[in-house]
A and B are shown apart, each in its own frame.
Chain A
Amino acid sequence: STVISVFEKDSIKIDEDLLANSARSLETLVTVGMQLAQMVWTKAKMRL
């Protein structure tokens, strides 16, 4: 089974290591609760 999360454009900055592995077509083994990404302030400010 799979879960996919889709975020609005430019709303998140995904952690570099996850992006780097994915760019090598390499899946990363993670567990629930590990940090994934941070909010992008510019987009959030506009929203708030």
Chain B
Amino acid sequence: MGNGNSTEAKESRRSKMRQKIQNFRSRRRLSRPGSGSVSGLVSQRSVSADDFAGIALLTLIGAEMKFKDKWLACVSFGEQTFRSEISNSTEKPIWNSEKKLLLEKNGPSLARISVFETNRLLKNNIVGYCELDLLEFVVQEPDSACKSFDLLDPASSNVVGSMFVSCSVEDPVETETCFAKRILSIVDYDEDGKLSFSEFSDLMNAFGNIVAANKKEELFKAADLNGDGVVTIDELAALLAVQQEQEPIINSCPVCGEALQLDKLNAMIHMTLCFDEGTGNQTMTGGFLTDRQASYGWMFKLSEWTHLATYDVGLNTGSSASHIVVIDRKTKRLVEELIDSKIVMSMRAIYQSKIGLRLMDQGAKEILQNLSEKQGKKMNTVESAQNIPSFLEFFKDQINMAEVKYPLDHFKTFNEFFVRELKPGARPIACMDQDDVAVSAADCRLMAFQSVDDSTRFWIKGRKFSIKGLLGNDVQSDAFLDGSLVIFRLAPQDYHRFHSPVSGVIEKFVNVSGSLYTVNPIAVNSKYCNVFTENKRTIVIISTAEFGKVAFVAIGATMVGSITFVRQEGDHVKKGDELGYFSFGG
């Protein structure tokens, strides 16, 4: 019996694992471009004819590196990332990997190519990267000539190799013309360039079209001018193009099966990209959001099976929260935020469970306060400056020392470095002469909501959150009730000074004492935790001619709990002016 049960249990475990793998594969498939996942892919966004610039064919030809290894290349473009196969062990990897990418006039145009040395067991290491503007590339190199780009070391910007790339763009009209021919050729089983009625009928079924048989016949006969029972693909393509305009007959994608409810242009874009994905013409693997994800070794993938839910945009709440993906506004590319896995684990344990928060109530608040004060003292010692190089190494491609006002040896403590100033002009202020335009108050990860309701629906999950709670009892909050909310979250590597988002006069400062919970989204997204209304904070009321009163709330967090203002009540501030900074301390 015992053995039997054990065998059954093993079988059950195996079957569960198989099911997980199956789920992984099917979800992975669904997250590919054109498959209609929520990963911000082509099929989800409606592209207007005015915005459509064409479909670019990008080819990663190869690279020249300075040492031998097995190499892997990733392309990040907009919200998608693709990876090549792994090369042989060589200094000159050749991939010849192709990918078709949708170009929109106001969409992303900057592609980032990263080259990784591969590890069998560990995470692959990025060795170099380059960025190229695809729109510029195709204008400058219309013949899809191979062009080389310097690969830069993310830490030092030294050149570590060369990348060879080609790119061409299909004219939108050409894409449309080719499209109908292409879909018809799928069912041209005998490849004679002609379609029989049965072949045409099969295609209609694949498109999910439930039109009556007589409608199919009617269409077919219209194209079959000489009545010989077959029509050329060119003839039928022309007819289909017209017909699709009047009464869409393509209802679902024959590759991924997704219902196509968008207009003709979007259906065409979806299928043009999806067909390549499905027919194996493309040699790059998709389904990743960031190049970090695409570079993970197979050991990571094992854990990915059990944490698949984490691979979506933004932060997933609940027990699955472990990665944060943010979108870079400049490049329109997704970026994965670096958080130490141990910190993630502890934050989940503390902030996403009732037990964790209960423990927090029973003395842990004081521990956080003491920890922050202790850390503040430590970071003000001369010895703490030794931590600066390792900090820079950890965030190597995210801190640009070239824009910092002083050189590294200027900073005598870590805290001095942490509150580093930037060179004048490093952060241009948008519409400087127009006070009716508000600007970002910090280098940060930003969330913006037109109403408080939206903010609680999409982001702030603490049950006790309210504007009154945020601003405290000493601020007249009636004017702000149901106002608009912008949340600027600073990550450790960010420039830690905050600036005025508007021009006006500082009316008053109100200090509210409180806890020093983390302000990481893991806590903000927890229904058990109310970081914004319970943390230590300073509220500044700025009176403006354009926006009325604006409440500016600086909220301290674990370890970084010291809030310093460099302005005073009555000061007139221009938007973009520095207001103060956060530093290590309690």
Contact = CB atoms under 8 A, between A and B. Distances in A.
B105 to A, nearest CB: 15
B446 A18 contact: yes
Nearest to B492: A1
Contact of B495 (A11, A17, A32): A32
Contacts of B330: 29
Contact of B483 (A11, A27, A29, A36): A11
- Name the interface size band of chain A: 35 or more
Contact of B485 (A6, A34, A35): A6
Interface string B456-490: 00110000000100110000000111111111111
B163 interface: no
A22 B335 CA distance: 15
Nearest to B45: A20
Given A7-B483, A19-B449, A36-B438, A1 B560 contact: yes
B549 A8 contact: yes
A34 B439 contact: yes
Contacts of A23: 454, 458
A8 B544 CA distance: 11
Given A2-B490, A3-B553, A27 B436 contact: no
B438 A22 contact: no
A38 to B, nearest CB: 5
B478 to A, nearest CB: 10
Interface residues of B, number: 77
21 contacts: A4-B487, A4-B488, A6-B484, A7-B548, A11-B483, A12-B438, A12-B484, A23-B454, A24-B313, A27-B326, A30-B444, A32-B495, A35-B440, A36-B439, A36-B448, A38-B436, A43-B548, A44-B436, A44-B546, A44-B547, A47-B545
Given A29-B335, A32-B442, 18 more contacts: A1-B555, A3-B555, A6-B471, A14-B449, A18-B448, A21-B327, A22-B448, A25-B313, A27-B314, A27-B445, A27-B521, A28-B328, A33-B440, A33-B499, A35-B430, A36-B486, A44-B436, A47-B545
Interface of B: 40, 313-315, 324-330, 335, 427-431, 436-451, 454, 458-459, 467, 470-471, 479-490, 495-499, 501, 519, 521, 532, 545-557, 560, 563, 576, 582
